[in-house]
């Protein structure tokens, strides 16, 4: 059975402050990539943390084939980049991610095989035995993604996984995520700021603004000049530069007040 995820009126409250409310989605199917976009501090990370079970709040999250217990590994969340200061190698940290929830302290050949596989898929062999605190921001992000993928999730939540990566790595990582989604019938939700990358990778786009979902639909439906204007307050157009990839081109003035429309 394919993993499915659906949100129904989901919200998040910090004390009395409601940071997110009324998020409802259609059924998100395994194999699909859903991009979450929106301005900074719109509530994207809160949404991820709520789905991952790290925050409580109103609403219901429907899952099939996956249990809600994060330790089961069926639902995996990659937080935004945080630097760590710890004496662990990259390899150890990935193995650690795989062994979470296991009562056995024994490391089997299969465990190591899985770790090696993820290391190879993300092409991070060269840094595999470096210390985590020696890594650059981009390398940390790749390692963090590896820690998530090694748990073989059914639902994968990636909070800005490419924000520190160079252009080549951005394209590569998102392509890998997309192909893994297809291969493993994984339901992927990913927050990405770069709309051009979103258009390359996403099957569906959700727009979060000021704690609510303002749009949800296919890439063509959602990413429009109107979205650029109303959400990001820039003037631009969407051009189909090649057969596959539309591009956002910003050629208007910035900071146009909304009221002027």
Partner 1 sequence: MAHSPAISLQQGRGVYRALVRRKQLILLALAVVMVLSVIADLGLGPARYSMREVVLALLGSAEVSEQISVVIWDIRMPVALMAIVVGAALSAAGAQMQTILNNPLASPFTLGISAAASFGASVALVFGISFLPWAIDYVVSINALLMAMGASLFIHFMSQKRGVTVETIVLLGITLVFTFNALLALVQYLASEQALSAVVFWTMGSLTRATWPKLAITTIVLAVSLPLFMRRAWALTALRLGEDKAASFGVNVRWLRLETMMIISVLAAVPVAFVGTIGFIGLVGPHIARMLVGEDQRYFLPASVLSGAAILSLTSVISKTIVPGTIFPIGIITALVGVPFLFSLIMTTRRRAW
Residues 133-152 that bind partner 1 (CB under 8 A): 133, 144, 147-148, 151
CA–CA–CA angle 62, 63, 65 (5° rounding) = 155
- Tell me, residue by residue from 3 to 42, as one string, x for binding to partner 1 by CB under 8 A and - for no binding: ----------------------------------------
Between residues 188 and 207, which has the closer beta carbon with respect to partner 1? 188
Longest dimension (CA), the chain: 65
- Residue 142 and residue 81: Cα distance in Å, rounded? 10
From the list 59, 63, 88, 171, which residue makes contact with partner 1 (rule: CB under 8 A)? 88
Sites for partner 1 among residues 194-213 (CB under 8 A): none
Smallest gap from Cβ 12 to partner 1, in A, equals 15
Q: What is the CA radius of gyration of the chain?
A: 19
Cβ nearer to partner 1, comparing 69 with 220: 69
* Interface contacts to partner 1, rule CB under 8 A: 52, 54, 69-73, 76-79, 82, 84-89, 91-93, 95-97, 99-103, 105, 107, 109, 112-113, 115-117, 119-120, 125-126, 128-129, 131-133, 144, 147-148, 151
């Amino acid at each position: 059975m394919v993993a499915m995820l659906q949100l129904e009126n989901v919200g998040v409250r910090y004390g009395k402050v409601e940071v997110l409310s009324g998020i409802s989605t259609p059924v998100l199917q395994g194999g699909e990539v859903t991009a979450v976009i929106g301005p900074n501090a719109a509530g994207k990370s809160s949404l991820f943390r709520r789905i991952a079970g790290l925050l409580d709040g109103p609403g219901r999250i429907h899952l099939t084939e996956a249990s809600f217990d994060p330790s089961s590994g069926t639902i995996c969340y990659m937080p935004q980049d945080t630097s760590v200061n710890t004496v662990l190698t990259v390899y150890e940290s990935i193995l650690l991610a795989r062994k979470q929830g296991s009562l056995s302290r024994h490391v089997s050949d299969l465990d190591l095989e899985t770790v090696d596989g993820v290391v190879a898929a993300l092409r991070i062999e060269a840094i595999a035995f470096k210390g985590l605190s020696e890594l650059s921001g981009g390398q940390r992000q790749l390692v963090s993604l590896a820690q998530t993928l090694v748990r073989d999730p059914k639902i994968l939540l990636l909070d800005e996984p490419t924000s520190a990566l160079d252009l080549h790595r951005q394209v590569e990582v998102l392509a890998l995520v997309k192909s893994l989604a297809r291969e493993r019938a994984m339901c992927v939700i990913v927050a990405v700021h770069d709309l051009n990358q979103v258009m390359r990778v996403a099957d569906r786009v959700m727009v979060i603004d000021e704690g609510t979902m303002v749009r949800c639909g296919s890439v063509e439906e959602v990413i429009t000049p109107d979205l650029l204007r109303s959400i990001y307050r820039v003037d631009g157009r969407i051009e189909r530069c090649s057969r596959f990839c539309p591009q956002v081109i910003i050629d208007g003035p910035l900071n146009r007040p909304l009221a002027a429309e």
